[in-house]
Amino acid sequence: MRLHVVNPNTTATMTAKIAAAARAVALPDTVIDARQPTMGPVSIEGFYDEAFAVPGMLGCIREADRDGADAHIIACFDDTGLDAARAVAQAPVIGIGEAGFHIASLIAARFAVVTTLSVSIVPIEHNLTKYGLAARCAGVRAAEVPVLALEERNADAIGKISSEITAAIREDRTEAIVLGCAGMADLAAELADRHGLPVIDGVAAAVTLAEGLVRLGLKTSRLGPYASPRAKAYSGLLASFQP
């Protein structure tokens, strides 16, 4: 099968890290096709960045559909543009935040999220409520590490993330941790070993769930909000995105 993993920001090194994390858990016959848009922010930190990342990401999804993708994975923990992607994509679409939450809920009564910056806390909390999992989350914590600081294995950044995990265990009584950024994908095993609890990387979780959907032959329902967009004209810079 062919899984399209899209990094909604424009940083190629992050796309490469995400692709490596995806390939590390993919089934032997799964091809990982990792892409990023040519337009948009270099990182997504909050609502403003998210809004401008969506058009380029949707363009990648439309192209990957034409190239025969069996499923799409949005590799941004805020699940940037997930609903719009499901409406336009021919193949099923999974967000790494959504995937991480659901996997955590299967192995722990209470899980916590450790993300990058405080500006991301509310978007993540909104998604937990939307997915019906807010009651299972012990808390969302920010390590105050910029997304691009994760491009290298910076000891200070890893230390801040680790400190928040320690606090979540002690203060929130969490039983599992979901890493709240695709840029943390290479840290899950190390942090799980250090803290002695499950640490979930959303990229790996999404790949596993996407493979399951494909193997089951399931696609996005068109009865409801994910119905294909009605044909209409789009103008200006967005003319090429018209349905």
Task: State pLDDT tens for residues 98-143.
Answer: 999 999 999 999 999 999 999 999 999 999 999 999 999 999 999 9
Per-residue pLDDT, 83:
97
pLDDT digits (tens, 9 = 90+) for 222-239: 999 999 998 889 898 888
What 3-state class would DSSP assign to 36? coil
Q: Supply 78's token pair.
A: 């805020």
Residue 90 is encoded by which pair of tokens? Answer: 């021919």
pTM here is: 0.94
pLDDT of residue 223: 94
Q: What is the pLDDT of residues 160-218, one digit of tens each?
A: 999 999 999 999 999 999 999 988 988 999 999 999 999 999 999 999 999 999 999 99
Query: Do the strands 176-180 and 199-201 form a parallel or antiparallel pair, or are they unpaired?
Result: parallel
Q: Could you tell me the domains of the chain? A: 2-96+204-241 (3.40.50.12500), 97-201 (3.40.50.12500)
Which pLDDT score is estimated for 211? 98
Using the CB atoms, write b or e for 173-187: b if 16+ within 10 Å. Answer: ebbbbbbbbbbbbbb
- The secondary structure of 172-200, three-state, reads CCCCEEEEECHHHCCCHHHHHHHHCCCEE
* pLDDT per position as a tens digit, 172-181: 999 999 999 9
Compute the mean pLDDT over every residue in the chain, rounded to the nearest whole number.
94
Q: What local confidence, expressed as pLDDT, does residue 154 receive? A: 72
Half-sphere exposure of 106 toward its Cβ, with a 13 Å CA cutoff? Answer: 9
Q: Report the pLDDT value the prediction gives residue 242, as an integer from 0 to 100.
A: 84
Give the Cα-Cα-Cα angle 209, 73, 163 (nearest 5 degrees).
Answer: 80
On the CB side of 81, CA atoms within 13 Å amount to: 27
Distance CA 140, CA 165 (A): 10
Residue 190: C-alpha distances to residues 109, 161, 195, 199 (Å): 22, 12, 9, 9
For the stretch 8-60, pLDDT in tens is 999 999 999 999 999 999 999 999 999 999 999 999 988 999 999 999 999 99
